Amino acid sequence: MKINEVEAAVGVTKKNIRFYEEEGLIQPRREPGNGYRSYSQEDVERLRRIKLLRKLDVPLAEIRTMLEGECSLAEGMLHQLERLNARRTDLEEAIRFCEQLKQEPGSLGELDVEQTLARLTAKEEQGVSFVNIEQVDRRAERIKGALVGAGLFTALMLLSMGIMAWAFSSDPQEIPPWPLLAVLFGIPTLCILGTLKVLVERIREIRKGEEDAYRNY
């Protein structure tokens, strides 16, 4: 199977399929001659198992041990339950803090922020983990970077089309035949549409947090 077929069959993006290959979780064979990847039904089944466990937020290291038979499904789920219970404790602490702050009179500007942060820090020293602000900010930065890159490329394509339109309108006798004109304007248009398509997919990946989550393990 080709990677496009695997993407459709499993519902995992091509980027993530290649990522799993880089991590050694799947090993598609290479076709002789052209070197293209060829995915077997076994690769597809492994990807489905990986997808299932990733939806449960199981770390890649844990998934690898289960795939290789070094750890049973029951043992892997026990470890994941421990992680999820720890996360639940963190969420419950965050909820309690929100409930307490809800009872505070006045505005945010009147809140004793230093004292509140000290209470949060004390909880963190006891092992509680609150939101990773840096990770959230990095996700926003990635989206911003994708938007800026796509915007600059689109602006460049539009500028080139504008220059061509201005040049042809200034000297109508230099206007090329319609087929060539369609090519000259069609290529930048297709580039813009392709860029927008890639941008939408990239933002969707960033918001899903898959790549961020992978890098944590």
The domain boundary residue, chosen from 67, 90, 110: 67
Give the residue numbers spanning the domain of 25.
3-67
**Structural domain contains residue 76:** no
* 43 touches 6 (CB < 8 A): yes
pLDDT tens for 45-73 read 999 999 999 888 898 899 999 999 999 99
What average pLDDT does this structure show over 167-179? Answer: 83
In terms of Cα–Cα distance, which of 108, 134, 130, 110 is closest to 119? 130
31/11 same-domain check? yes
Shared domain check, 33 and 62: yes
The predicted-structure confidence for 136-172, as pLDDT tens digits, reads as follows: 456 677 788 889 999 999 999 999 999 988 888 888 7
> What separation in angstroms does the CA of 206 have from each of 15, 140, 186?
12, 9, 30
pTM of the model: 0.57
Distance CA 199, CA 16 (A): 16
Is residue 166 domain-shared with residue 201, that is, in the same domain? Answer: yes
Residue 54 to residue 48: CA distance in whole angstroms: 10
